[in-house]
Amino acid sequence: MKKNKPKYNQIIDAAVEIIAENGYHSSQVSKIAKKAGVADGTIYLYFKNKEDILVSLFQQKMGSFIEKIEAETTQKQTADEKLLALIKTHFQQLTANHHLAIVTQLELRQSKPDLRLKINEVLKRYLVVIDQILNEGIKDKSFRGDINIRLVRQMIFGTLDEAVTNWVMKDQHYDLVDQAEEVHDLIVRGLTNRNN
């Protein structure tokens, strides 16, 4: 199991940091190797090529990212509470690791088809979590029954994504988690003024 090899994780962590600071295309393999404290050639004992570092990084980091969200949401009872937990956990984790946030928000928008495919593979697990919450909400009638799940999922993911991107762009000068409740409220209730 790769995970037990210390150098593997050293390299992944170095890559997150280097890529966050320089962007993927300005992150030379030698720079990552240096940060990881290994020789350039060693990288290729653990990764097929440079792109594989990015993919592996994403699989590793997003894997545990999603696991944490799964864990937090399962503990809640209602769909509404689960959604809030998802938002909070999403924000919390990226706040705790803003290098990772930068990588996921910016560097993973790669257009190379094979790369995208693998990234989407990982993200799918996240989308499944969202879908489950939405289905639960519909079943217990806390959410409207006529919503288009795919669209709502897009709205949720897009909103969180944009919130994080803005926070990253603003150099993390404010507290992202503070926005969780408001974002949740907005998604659930919409813009409409009920007084009308």
The smaller minimum CB distance to DNA, of residues 40 and 162, is found at: 40
CB 7, CB 49: distance < 8 Å: no
Structure tokens that stand for 185 in this block: 């409220």
3-state secondary structure of 110: coil
Name residues contacting a copy of itself, limited to 36-95 (CB under 8 A). Answer: none
Residue 16 site contact among DNA, a copy of itself, none (CB < 5 to 8 Å, cut-off depends on kind): none
| Residue 5 phi, psi dihedral angles, 5° rounding | -80, 115
Number of amino acids touching DNA (CB under 7 A):
17
Using CB under 7 A as the criterion, what x/- string covers residues 37-66 for binding DNA?
Answer: -xxxxxxxx---xxx---------------
Structure tokens that stand for 26 in this block: 């300005």
Name residues contacting a copy of itself, limited to 99-138 (CB under 8 A). Answer: 102, 105-107, 109-112, 116, 120, 137
Residue 173 near a copy of itself by CB under 8 A: no
d(CA 191, CA 185): 10
Q: How many CB atoms lie within 10 A of CB 178?
A: 10
Residue 21 near DNA by CB under 7 A: no
Residue 114 near DNA by CB under 7 A: no
Residue 49 site contact among a copy of itself, DNA, none (CB < 5 to 8 Å, cut-off depends on kind): DNA
Interior/surface letters 5-30, b for 16+ CB within 10 angstroms, e for the rest: eeebebbbbbbbbbbbeeebeebebe
Structure tokens that stand for 133 in this block: 């919450």
Q: Which residues bind DNA (CB under 7 A)?
A: 7, 26-30, 38-45, 49-51
Q: Which residues bind a copy of itself (CB under 8 A)?
A: 23-26, 102, 105-107, 109-112, 116, 120, 137, 141-145, 147-148, 151-152, 154-155, 157-163, 165-166, 169, 179, 182-183, 186-196
